[in-house]
Amino acid sequence: MVYAARLVPDSNATMLATFPDFPEAATFGADVEDALHHAQDALLSAIAARIDDAEDVPFPSPVTDDLHPVELPALAEAKILLWRTMREGGVTKVELARRLDLALPQVDRLLDPCHPSRLDDLDGAVRALGKRLAVALA
């Protein structure tokens, strides 16, 4: 998943990064490269907060000429897709924990895009929702 970031100079001689898909997220850097480096962390934090609050995580809007791409790690993408599948199927965190025979904090970590979960754990969660996790190289 590649989300769009808008970079603008701010009053402190730094670059401010904001995100059309996540208006609640913002970060900055000393220059464009530094701001984009911090942008991924800001996006992951915003996504984690939305999942914690049981809110939707949108698919990325197109990156246009006036925006900069911010690519998320593959593991974070898998967690977002797991969350979206849960929401589409009306499966709560409590229900997923029951299906996987896990404690709720374990499910919270499984859905946290900042937590380094194991791929086989994600695969088990996806299978508990009747789906299959596929891996591809692009």
Q: What is the pLDDT of residues 68-125, one digit of tens each?
A: 999 999 999 999 999 999 999 999 999 999 999 999 999 999 999 999 999 999 999 9
Give me the residue spans of the domains in the chain.
Answer: 2-71, 74-128
Give pLDDT tens digits for 3-18.
999 999 987 789 999 9
**CATH for 2-71, among 3.40.640.10, 3.20.10.10, 3.40.50.800, 3.30.160.250?**
3.30.160.250
* Four-point Cα dihedral 124, 90, 103, 56, nearest 10: 90
Q: What is the pTM of this model?
A: 0.92
